[in-house]
Structure 1
Amino acid sequence: MLEISGLTWAVTIGLIVLLLAVDLVLATLRPHRVGFGEATAWSVFYVAVAVAFGVWFTSQYGGAAGTEYFAGYIVEKSLSVDNLFVFVIIMTTFAVPEKHQHKVLTFGIVLALVMRAIFIAVGATLLSLFSFMFLLFGLLLLFTAVQLFRHRNEDPDVENNVVVRTARRVLPITDDYVGGKLVIRREGRRLVTPLFVVLVAIGGVDLLFALDSIPAVFGVTDEPFIVFAANAFALLGLRALYFLVKGLLDRLVYLSAGLAVILAFIGVKLILHWAHVDIDTAVPEVPTSVSLGVIVVVLLVVVVASLLKTRKSPETKAHAGSLRATRRREDGGGDSA
């Protein structure tokens, strides 16, 4: 285990909070439509910050630790692109005005970071106490990979999400967005706006993605600090990345299949690690450098194959993928996967 000082933790968390605060202030005080140029600049900035942190981390803690950080960052970044698919679906479903999408995404990222921090703390504790948790995490990722691949040509049914349905049933909701406010008082009665329901939907999505992404990054490294940093820096750029690539997401037709392959690979890696520790040291383990290479190659193949496919068949559209059949299929429709 790496010896990470309290000062390093404090400075890293402080940097992340500062960047989040800037994003939140910009979203709250200056709601506006984010253009391509602004999105590009912010995306480059966040990637540069993540890379600079990785370079510093490597210089301080060695090449092996640095490789684990970059592998974890790439895993989380690739999974976050799938988040973007769902965010697009949510924004479209609830007809969120473009000038308020910045605020929604920033709050969504804050929720995601809080949830993942909790999962990281719990996951790290469980792994340190019970080595068989590597087996359980590996099986969870394999199950997720199979489900994602089976339903790779479907989208999550946001309207029928249990969290959204409950919010609609128990909360008094206005018909309009009321200038991007979350809660208003009208005729002596406190009401929530559709923007509040959108945040509830994104929070539910964040929870589901945290259940997948945390075991995935623990498959690359068991260092809690690296897991936290990789997640945080990958999520920080999500808001800008949304505005940069939302017009291109439809072309990544093989992304869900590629992510299923990555999750399955990491699941097998976790199971091999458990077997190596608990059963027989002769069981081989997958080095982090190999993991990094496999992840990068899969992502490159996915992107190239997707672009070639959509160039040949422009009518083909990508889907976010789902972990269960959509309501249409449940009602007897055919499987599009």
Structure 2
Amino acid sequence: MSDPSTCRTAVSAAASLGRFGVETSLWAWGGFVAFVLVLIALDLGIVHRKPRAVKVSEALWTSLFYITLALIFAAGVFYFRGSEDGWAFLTGFLIEKSLSIDNIFVFVLIFTHFSVPAEYQHRVLLWGILGALVMRAVLIFAGVELIANFHWLIYVFGAFLVVTGIKMLLAADAEPDMANNRLVGFIKRRMRVTESFHGEHFFIRRDGALYATPLFLTLVIVEASDLVFAVDSIPAILAVSQDAFIVFTANVFAILGLRALYFALAGVVHKFHYLKYALSIVLVLVGAKMLVNGYFGAKTIPTEYALIATAVLVFGSIIVSLARKERPDDRKTLPTGWVVGSPAKSGDDKHKP
């Protein structure tokens, strides 16, 4: 006769694996991770082996390549795992892709403040995104496990998204004071930092002492900013699905294309005047969906509705922004946004370089 405690342990382990999507296939997990590593290796070793500026045309084609990969993967999810997971992947991918445009607003501000040469920006983004993938993987698995063990956290995450969306809406036009960034000040008080860039190096040795370069400061701010974005965006996609495989793959595809999207949109992203308002409404709606479905049942508000609402809001806001006529007070050439460690500029400081 089997030991009851052993049976309970086996059932618990199986349930835990199920939450992480492992029951579908360990080969699927291994194959996907290997595929991502190959893409990163090709990028590091061949495509961008030497530092160079990325042309807009190249960035557009690369962005289209990653979107195509995501759509092919979505077709596979529909075929092998059914329409429910397929719609969840597409919705999660669109939400993450849309929120990643908010990252671009911040990246433009960071690179402009530090005067990072165009040929070194890709290196910062690449290492920043590698760190982002690790951070997001940890947050995703932790979030899935927490929700599985503490159902009431669904309401916490849902309320968090609603509050975050409202805060984003109220601070949509805030301008960060990068000159008084507290995180940069903290690093400079504890490390030697060179005044100028030294190629693509994050650190150099001078007279036997180790110095950080401004490129390292840029990387730290980019990583810290993405951690904050991840804290906002992971609950948003967990509102769509609590299957770790779906959530993780949707995140990875959105993040992999972020670098290309940055170089494609960096020059025009400040014209997306209404996008932040749309993204804030998306967060509120997704948070409300999480609250309603958590209380009334997982299918009360179908995932397809969330996908349609997100698409209409995001693409609609971009179209309206581009159709908007230039106004006399449109003097800003930089987007607005919140940067980690940077207080908001006061009214008298706004529009100052």
Q: TM-score, normalised by structure 1?
A: 0.91
Per-residue deviation, residues 295-325 of structure 1 (Å, max 9, x unmatched): 1111122112111224567936573433999
CA distance in 1 between partners of 2:109 and 2:279 (Å): 19
Letter of the aligned partner of 1:186 in structure 2? Answer: R
Query: Which of residues 300, 307, 312 in structure 2 aligns to 1:292?
Result: 307
1:37 offset after TM fit, Å? 2.1
* Alpha-carbon distance between aligned partners in 2 of 1:131 and 1:92, rounded to the nearest angstrom: 43
> Cα distance, 1:269 vs. partner?
0.8
1:332: Cα distance to partner? 8.3
Per the TM alignment, residue 274 of structure 1 is displaced from its structure 2 partner at its CA by: 2.3
1:78 shift after superposition = 0.2
The 1-side partners of 2:124 and 2:47 are apart by 8
Instruction: Indicate conservation of the 8 Å contact 2:107/2:222, yes or no.
Output: yes
CA spacing shift, 1:252–1:58, aligned 2, 3 Å:
same
Is 2:50 aligned against 1:30?
yes
Note closer, same or farther for the CA distance 1:260–1:316 as it changes in structure 2 (3 Å cut). farther
Given candidates 268, 286, 305, the residue that maps to 1:266 is 286
Q: Percent identity?
A: 35
The residue that corresponds to 2:116 in the other structure is 96
Q: After alignment, is 118-127 or 29-38 more displaced?
A: 29-38
Structure 2: how far apart are the matches of 1:24 and 1:133? 39
- Once the two structures are TM-superposed, the CA of residue 276 in structure 1 deviates from its matched residue by 2.1
Aligned-partner residue type, residue 131 of structure 2: L
SS at match of 1:190: strand
Contact 2:225/2:339, CA 8 A, preserved across alignment: no
Q: Which of 103, 113, 124 is equivalent to 1:83?
A: 103
Question: What TM-score do the two structures reach when normalised by structure 2?
Answer: 0.87
Quote the offset at 1:24 in angstroms: 2.8
Cα pair distance change 1:232/1:315, threshold 3 Å: same
Where does residue 58 of structure 1 map in the other structure? 78
Contact 2:109 2:335 (8 Å CA) reproduced: no
**Amino acid of the residue matched to residue 263 of structure 1?**
L
Give matches, 1:155-174, under 5 Å.
155-174=175-194
- Counterpart position of 2:338: 322
Matches within 5 A, 1:16-165: 16-26=36-46, 29-165=49-185
Q: Which amino acid aligns with 2:52?
A: H
Shift of 1:333: 7.5
Structure-1 separation of matches of 2:339 and 2:151: 27
Aligned to 1:190: 210
Which residue of 228, 231, 234 corresponds with 1:211?
231
Question: Counterpart of 1:221 in structure 2: which amino acid?
Answer: S
The CA distance in 2 between the partners of 1:293 and 1:155, in whole Å, is 31
SS where residue 185 of structure 1 aligns? strand
2:249 matches 1:229: yes
Residues 18-55 of structure 1: CA distance to partner in whole angstroms, max 9, x if unpaired? 21222233576310011122112211111111111111
Larger radius of gyration: 2
Amino acid at match of 1:11: G
Cα distance in 1 for residues equivalent to 2:175 and 2:300:
35
- Please state how far the C-alpha of 1:179 moved relative to its aligned partner: 1.1
Cα 1:159–1:113 shift into 2, 3 Å: farther
Measured in 2, the distance between the counterparts of 1:78 and 1:215 equals 15
Q: Secondary structure at the match of 1:29?
A: coil
1:251 aligned residue: 271
Contact 2:176 2:345 survives alignment (8 Å): no
> Equivalent residue of 1:247, what SS?
coil
Instruction: Specify whether residues 26 and 99 from structure 1 end up closer, same or farther in structure 2 by C-alpha distance, changes over 3 A only.
Output: farther
Question: Aligned pair in 2 of structure 1 residues 287, 160: CA closer, same or farther (>3 Å)?
Answer: farther
Aligned 8 A contact 2:96 2:254 in 1: yes
Q: Structure 1: which 5+ residue stretches go unaligned?
A: none
Q: 5+ residue gaps in structure 2?
A: 1-17
Question: How many Å separate the matches in 1 of 2:278 and 2:343?
Answer: 21
CA distance in 2, matches of 1:247, 1:314: 19
Separation of aligned partners in 2, 1:140 and 1:292: 20
Report the secondary structure of 1:55's partner residue. helix
> 1:157 and 1:24 mapped to 2: Cα distance?
33
Contact between 1:148 and 1:321, CA under 8 Å: does it hold in 2?
Answer: no
Give the match's secondary structure for 1:328: coil
What SS does the corresponding residue of 1:56 show, helix, strand or coil?
A: helix
Asked whether the equivalents of residues 192 and 212 of structure 2 are also in contact (C-alpha less than 8 Å), the reply is yes
Instruction: Note closer, same or farther for the CA distance 1:248–1:310 as it changes in structure 2 (3 Å cut).
Output: farther
